[in-house]
Chains A and B, each alone.
Chain A
């Protein structure tokens, strides 16, 4: 772990204390911790459970119940493709398949090896009027198709390359 991640653990302590170590605030605490780490690491989950005085298995149950929480490290850029009824009818599956082959991902492998992208499908984003919808890093893109999505991915890749060479 690097020095930078120490700050993350310091944030864990802050978050737990901010909520008075109240076990009823578990979901809120997990959300805030996930914002720091981008996922919920096992040892941090154990720490939270111990600090809140709840059983670790219970905390694990909560974290796995909500699809919002993830226990695996995620990529730097998170792509969410809506596969709700409206988006599905408008061929969201095509977008998912294209992204999977473009990024070398599949049903079980959601994150690229270079940790640059994570692909998720979501049930409904409530934006059915502009279906199919793709959300990249919290930015909503409506009326998408295969080519538009690929273009967005290429753009991010170029940006990342440019950042790297700086």
Chain B
């Protein structure tokens, strides 16, 4: 096989001449040659790790190498199926199985487990090694995700997706060799650290080490309780994905079957989250038009993604005023239902149970946020993921293919197309634009804004609405969001409205959605399904939803709308930690109580310099013995860092001069006293 410059460069894969066409690595080339190499840790959208060793191949002159991390060279001769490689692969799998908690029959991941699938594929019927029985405790501290370390195969997929796609980094590999494990900081509980609950780790985990927290039992309990009225809302992205659990193609619409199935399961009313998505648009677009006209608090960030909201609260407190104050469609639906439905049905809000079916694990966290409860009764009582609904349907014995589709209940089941496209990245942005454009140019027909559709991580557009020019950015994936925000902060980009979704491609790719196994385009197909559904709707601008028009005209005043549909955000520390004592003087009663914030927002703004300068000043003034100096790691009030508290008095944007003055005042007061 000689190749000159004019010839196409090739490699020989299992005897097949395969042209090189810019594949990233040997694994991709081998797959192009229609050989499906097994792997746990290779994913084209995150970095190459080479941990699982399943993709080992033999390359002439090089011996046995992992295909995923081997660059391609012309004229390579590669064998993927030698006796030695087969025996190695089997041994690696057996070793993994020997150190894996094999409670497969009760493992929720069983039907999707890659380890199980590969073991079958490789014909493993017996493990030659002794089973390790080191059971680690299960971490169920998070409202969204359960971590079962005994099942981890150390592929590192979760670590990389969290770090590279989401730029969160809540998990990492600690220790080494046989003691290596995936863990949050200092082995803390996942619910106590900076995890935003997006569930992308759950989706990528090949085994049952990371799972969504199931609330199926709570849902059945409510349904079987005769004293409760159970009301369900179904999010847009669920209807184009649920069918995948029953053999349908991604993107196939199963709205009618979901509705019918939920009635068979025994809920009282089935409503549509798209209805409250319309409501969100009316509130959010009105908010945007107000800010846009006054040119204040721009860019406006969307706030319907709870993972993004937590991310912003932890990383960008200075932007919290820019977030739309609108609750998400899930929470808007529930506040409205607990207010209006409970009244209409003449029952207490405690007897009205709201179950939401979401494509998302972070929605479980959102529903548990304390501000979304009234007297301890949650607005959204139970959140189920798409997968949990599929499991309930199977448990109920529903034959998906044979159920007759049914329609939603009214009035909260009526939506416009704008509410439907919420489930895809760009959908919220487009819905706002449709509403704004109708508000500014009332006679024009509803337009599509295809510029903001599609699978790209960042989509931008300049849109002329009437005389105004609106600059829009749509971003999905939190690492993409972080990049965009840093650009805006550096003055390199500027937008009027920014839609942020934590999961790449939007909610259709949420952490509670089916894991695509053989469909690389599943996410795009689901989005297409939503846009196709949008086309069939009677109305396609949220402002046209007749039931909402009626609601606003007859029942909901401006004040009530504000109370029910808007919320506030607060800065959150990345990791909950007690305050630490930096200086504790000898005196029993301290005259100077100084507390500094060392959170992720205050520290880059000069909190350390402030501390160093202030301690020096305390020593200069000989106040050491009367001083207690503590530090916290971020708190609810640091939008304007660095934040310092002296004897209970908070100083925002504190400088050394301001702090010294405050100390001087106390010295003076003490002298006077």
Q: Which of B173-200 contact A (CB under 8 A)?
A: 173-176, 183-186, 193-194
The reply to whether A57 and B624 contact each other, CB–CB distance below 8 Å, is no
The reply to whether B603 and A51 contact each other, CB–CB distance below 8 Å, is yes
Whole-angstrom CA separation of A16 from B609 in the bound complex: 12
Q: Decide if B397 is an interface residue (CB 8 Å cutoff).
A: no
Whole-angstrom CA separation of A55 from B314 in the bound complex: 12
Whether A55 touches B170, Cβ cut-off 8 Å, given contacts A10-B615, A43-B577, is: yes
Q: Decide if B349 is an interface residue (CB 8 Å cutoff).
A: no
Closest residue of A by beta carbon distance from B586: A3
Minimum Cβ distance to chain B for residue A69 (Å): 11
Residues of B within 8 A of A64 (CB): 174-176
Minimum Cβ distance to chain B for residue A70 (Å): 13
The reply to whether A9 and B170 contact each other, CB–CB distance below 8 Å, is no
Residues of A within 8 A of B184 (CB): 57
The reply to whether B577 and A55 contact each other, CB–CB distance below 8 Å, is no
The reply to whether A42 and B176 contact each other, CB–CB distance below 8 Å, is no
Residues of A within 8 A of B615 (CB): 6, 10
Residues of B within 8 A of A10 (CB): 612, 615
The reply to whether A3 and B186 contact each other, CB–CB distance below 8 Å, is no
The reply to whether B584 and A55 contact each other, CB–CB distance below 8 Å, is no
Q: Decide if A1 is an interface residue (CB 8 Å cutoff).
A: yes
The reply to whether A60 and B174 contact each other, CB–CB distance below 8 Å, is yes
Binary A-proximity of B603-625 (CB < 8 A = 1, otherwise 0) = 11000100110010000000010
The reply to whether B169 and A65 contact each other, CB–CB distance below 8 Å, is no
The 8 Å CB contact of A3, one of B169, B183, B584, is: B584
Minimum Cβ distance to chain A for residue B42 (Å): 21
Q: Which of A1-60 contact B (CB under 8 A)?
A: 1-3, 6, 9-10, 13, 16-17, 42-43, 45-47, 49-51, 53-60
The reply to whether B582 and A56 contact each other, CB–CB distance below 8 Å, is no
Chain B CB within 10 A, most for which of A2, A42, A45, A60:
A60
Q: Which of B562-579 contact A (CB under 8 A)?
A: 574-575, 577
Q: Decide if A61 is an interface residue (CB 8 Å cutoff).
A: yes
Q: Decide if B79 is an interface residue (CB 8 Å cutoff).
A: no
Whole-angstrom CA separation of A76 from B600 in the bound complex: 34
Q: Decide if B92 is an interface residue (CB 8 Å cutoff).
A: no
Residues of B within 8 A of A45 (CB): 185-186
Closest residue of A by beta carbon distance from B629: A6
Closest residue of A by beta carbon distance from B578: A43
Whole-angstrom CA separation of A50 from B581 in the bound complex: 17
Q: Decide if B422 is an interface residue (CB 8 Å cutoff).
A: no
Closest residue of B by beta carbon distance from A1: B581
Minimum Cβ distance to chain B for residue A40 (Å): 10
The reply to whether A61 and B611 contact each other, CB–CB distance below 8 Å, is no
Whether A56 touches B580, Cβ cut-off 8 Å, given contacts A13-B608, A46-B185, A61-B174, is: no
Residues of A within 8 A of B176 (CB): 64-65
Whole-angstrom CA separation of A125 from B626 in the bound complex: 49
Residues of A within 8 A of B186 (CB): 42, 45, 56, 60, 71
Q: Decide if B291 is an interface residue (CB 8 Å cutoff).
A: no
Whether A55 touches B194, Cβ cut-off 8 Å, given contacts A42-B186, A60-B186, is: yes
Chain A CB within 10 A, most for which of B168, B598, B608, B633:
B608
Residues of A within 8 A of B611 (CB): 13
Residues of A within 8 A of B608 (CB): 13, 16-17, 51
Residues of A within 8 A of B612 (CB): 10, 13
Residues of B within 8 A of A57 (CB): 169-172, 174, 183-185, 193
The 8 Å CB contact of A9, one of B172, B582, B600, B624, is: B582
Closest residue of B by beta carbon distance from A2: B584
Closest residue of B by beta carbon distance from A57: B172
Q: Decide if B599 is an interface residue (CB 8 Å cutoff).
A: yes
Residues of A within 8 A of B8 (CB): none
Residues of B within 8 A of A55 (CB): 163, 168-170, 172, 185, 194
The reply to whether B604 and A53 contact each other, CB–CB distance below 8 Å, is yes
Whole-angstrom CA separation of A71 from B185 in the bound complex: 12
Minimum Cβ distance to chain B for residue A52 (Å): 10
Minimum Cβ distance to chain B for residue A6 (Å): 4
Whether A56 touches B185, Cβ cut-off 8 Å, given contacts A2-B584, A46-B633, is: yes
Whole-angstrom CA separation of A42 from B578 in the bound complex: 11
Q: Decide if B17 is an interface residue (CB 8 Å cutoff).
A: no
Whole-angstrom CA separation of A58 from B173 in the bound complex: 8
Closest residue of A by beta carbon distance from B633: A46
Minimum Cβ distance to chain A for residue B318 (Å): 16
Closest residue of B by beta carbon distance from A47: B598
Residues of A within 8 A of B574 (CB): 50, 56
Closest residue of A by beta carbon distance from B185: A56
The reply to whether A61 and B172 contact each other, CB–CB distance below 8 Å, is yes
Minimum Cβ distance to chain B for residue A150 (Å): 31
Q: Decide if B124 is an interface residue (CB 8 Å cutoff).
A: no
Q: Decide if B347 is an interface residue (CB 8 Å cutoff).
A: no
The reply to whether B174 and A50 contact each other, CB–CB distance below 8 Å, is no
Chain A CB within 10 A, most for which of B172, B175, B574:
B172
Closest residue of A by beta carbon distance from B608: A13
**Which 5 residue pairs across A and B have the least CB separation, nearest first?**
A55-B169, A56-B185, A57-B172, A61-B172, A64-B174
Q: Which residues of B contact A (CB under 8 A)?
A: 163, 168-176, 183-186, 193-194, 574-575, 577, 580-586, 598-600, 603-604, 608, 611-612, 615, 624, 629, 633
Give me 10 A-to-B residue pairs in the complex whose CB atoms sit less than 8 angstroms apart, sorted by A's number: A3-B584, A3-B586, A6-B615, A9-B582, A42-B577, A43-B633, A45-B186, A46-B185, A49-B185, A65-B174
Q: Apart from A43-B580, A57-B169, what 12 extra A-B contacts exist at CB < 8 Å? A: A3-B586, A6-B629, A10-B612, A10-B615, A17-B608, A45-B186, A50-B599, A51-B608, A55-B185, A57-B184, A60-B186, A65-B174
